[in-house]
Amino acid sequence: MARADTYTLLSLDQYSSVLGIAPPHFNGAAGASIFPVGGQCDSIWHQFQFQAGDRVSREELAQAIATAEEEIARVLGFWPAPMFITNEIHPYPRHYRPELITQGLTNRGQLRSIRADYAKFISAGQRGTTFVGTPAIIRSDADGDGFQETATVSIATALTDACEVKVYFEGHAGDPEWEIRPLRSKSISGGVFTATFWIWQAIHPELWEAFPTSDGAHALDLTDAAIYETLVDVYREFVDFSLPSAHFYWEPDPVSTVSGICGSCGGSGCPSCTLQVQDGCAHVRDVHGGLLVPQPASYDATAGQWGAADWVDCREPDLVKVNYYAGDLDRKFLSGRACEPLSLYWAQAIAWLATARLSRPFCSCGTVEKLVNDLRWDTARTGADEPAYTLDPRDGANPFGTLVGEVKAWRRVRRFVGARASVAVV
């Protein structure tokens, strides 16, 4: 699997598919008769910039994709695919009369809500993983061309939701950056989880780190079985609601000389310059608007639920941090027809925006090179020898820029701008 140290919603292999790059070449491999290279441009991608300074590397590409995703999310008000948001901090909402202490309740007696940074709320909680096992990779030749291109892993499990089960490179403790994605298929049947993917997605990552050599050899041999991993780790990834989805903070109260006063430890020796902290949970009030309701609570492991608690201080907290899972979901995912939550609609927009921002050559032949050059063209350029480019008047508000890829991405995004309702927090 093409990977990088920067996590992206759009996986690198999905990116290569959107642009039409040969996936083995994108993963640094080629064969004499299977996916050969040739011509002025050998099409082989490198992991790091220093390995081939005259072309884009996978690490550089991942950084551009991550930047594009964040820019799109900030304009939309939601991520184009689900993200775990951790320790997002907000001032705790106050009554319009700041001298009042209302115990965190509105005029209707409900707990106060906060407007999260991102909408399309899915669940409160934090990322959780459970180790399933380390199955072996079984290779097969599904199309009968003599090359074993299909990798299959199978393992017994009591789990029932195949979309929660994910495959990772061995020995990385289920780190999202090491997930093999996208998988060609995955399913659970008869208590056995089975996943298939392309064998070039299992190339040893350390082989990508080789230094350039004087003979110019750098393509891995696609037909050499020694370049592939033989084991993978399988984990269940889920939203762990048993972990706190809210943390509340109070500034230290002035030291009191009278013991027993709520929020005071009663005199000298009281901790100073330290915030008082309390855990809690959160629930949603407006899924699309991103309104969350944090409240103090204690988790009961026996009952498997959070129980309401009183504030540890006798007033509303000053700050609250929230943890939640939110983002857009593909219709195929929602209907159970696919396990990839990122839609093609957003995958293309991200790819266009990221490609436009990369200044180095791709060194991918034919139509891919033409597509890249087209996406990088600046529509603001004028001149007698410059091609004419007519912009829609609505493109004038484009926050991304004037490159063709930026304009194309904006045309996808602008349809949703303003869709997140502005709801007053009371």
Final residue belonging to a domain, choices 326, 354, 374: 326
Same domain flag for 194 and 182: yes
Contact 281, 246 (CB under 8 A): yes
Same domain flag for 132 and 236: yes
Task: Residue 298: give the domain boundaries.
Answer: 89-123+244-326
Residue 84 lies in a domain: no
Same domain flag for 102 and 202: no
Q: Pairing relation of β-strands 220-221 and 29-30?
A: parallel
Same domain flag for 288 and 368: no
Omega before 98 within 30 of 0, i.e. cis: no
Same domain flag for 132 and 225: yes
Residue 421 lies in a domain: no
How many domains, in total, are found in the chain?
A: 3
| Cα distances (Å, whole numbers) of residue 250 to 71, 256, 296, 322 | 33, 16, 13, 15
Residue 337 lies in a domain: yes
DSSP secondary structure of 208-229? GGPPP-TT----EETT-GGGB-
Same domain flag for 270 and 322: yes
Final residue belonging to a domain, choices 181, 212, 240: 240
Residue 393 lies in a domain: yes
Residue 7 lies in a domain: no
Same domain flag for 235 and 282: no
pLDDT (tens place) for every residue of the chain, 426 residues total: 789 999 999 999 999 999 999 899 999 999 888 888 865 455 788 899 888 777 899 999 999 999 999 999 999 999 999 999 999 999 998 877 766 666 677 767 788 999 999 999 999 999 999 999 999 999 999 999 999 999 999 999 999 999 999 999 999 999 999 999 999 999 999 999 999 999 999 999 999 887 655 444 568 999 999 999 999 999 999 999 999 999 999 988 765 444 445 555 545 566 677 889 999 999 999 999 999 999 999 999 999 999 999 988 878 899 999 999 999 999 999 999 999 999 999 999 999 999 999 988 886 667 888 899 999 999 887 666 666 667 777 787 899 999 999 999 999 999 998 766 444 443
Same domain flag for 258 and 193: no
Same domain flag for 229 and 134: yes
Same domain flag for 172 and 234: yes
